[in-house]
Amino acid sequence: MKNPLESLQNTILLGLAITIVMALVVKYTF
């Protein structure tokens, strides 16, 4: 199976997904 990190597009999408999760954590923690 191809490592998901092999694909630069997947890398960017993962980065954006982390950004959204992180922003929601901050928004709803305080």
Residues that bind another protein (CB under 8 A): 3, 5-6, 8, 11-12, 14-16, 18-19, 22-23, 25-27, 29-30
d(CA 14, CA 23): 14
| Strand ranges, E, within 1-30 | none
d(CA 15, CA 25): 15
> CB of residue 11 vs another protein: minimum separation in angstroms?
5
> CB of residue 28 vs another protein: minimum separation in angstroms?
10
> CB of residue 12 vs another protein: minimum separation in angstroms?
7
